[in-house]
Amino acid sequence: MFVVRRNGLHAWRKACPHWANTSMAWRKDAFLNPDGTRIVCSAHGAQFDIATGVCTLGPCIGETLVRVSLIYLGDGSLAVSRNELETST
Ligand code: FES
């Protein structure tokens, strides 16, 4: 998974809807276009809205990334929902 901080935190599974289980990062921890306004898949260049995960340009237009639910803990840290962990195995 990866998390983007733009007008809040947006967590997504690190898998492109174009081809199942394709890793998306350009390099370690690099998921955004140069101006930081879109998530971009490194394989074929699909671009995704950061807040909704909807593909707006590329080979999977209209498909969406899979959101990961985060839990905000009282000490300022984050955790992944147990349901997310159970459905990803
Ligand atoms: S696998 Fe992501 S755009 Fe093709």
Domain span including residue 12: 1-89
Whether the pLDDT of residue 82 is over 80: the answer is no
- In CATH, what number is assigned to the domain containing residue 82? 2.102.10.10
Higher pLDDT, 58 or 77: 58
Whether the pLDDT of residue 10 is over 70: the answer is yes
Pocket of ligand 1, beta carbon within 6 A: 16, 18-19, 22, 41, 43-44, 46, 58-59
| Residue pair 51/6 in contact by the 8 Å Cβ criterion | yes
CA dist 23 and 16 (Å) reads: 7
- Residues 21-61 have pLDDT tens digits of 788 988 888 999 999 999 999 999 999 999 999 999 999 99
Question: How many whole angstroms from 14 Cα to the centroid of ligand 1?
Answer: 11
Number of folded domains in the chain? 1
Task: Write down the pTM of the prediction.
Answer: 0.87
Q: Which atom of ligand 1 is nearest to the CA of 16?
A: 2
Provide mean pLDDT across the span 7-33: 90
Return the best residue to mutate from 44, 48, 66 for the ligand 1 pocket (most ligand atoms within 8 A of CB).
Answer: 44
Percent of the chain with pLDDT over 90: 70
- CB proximity list for 31: less than 8 A, separation 6 or greater: 2, 4, 14, 24, 25, 39, 40
- Nearest C-alpha to atom 4 of ligand 1 is from which residue? 44
- CB proximity list for 22: less than 8 A, separation 6 or greater: 15, 16, 41, 43
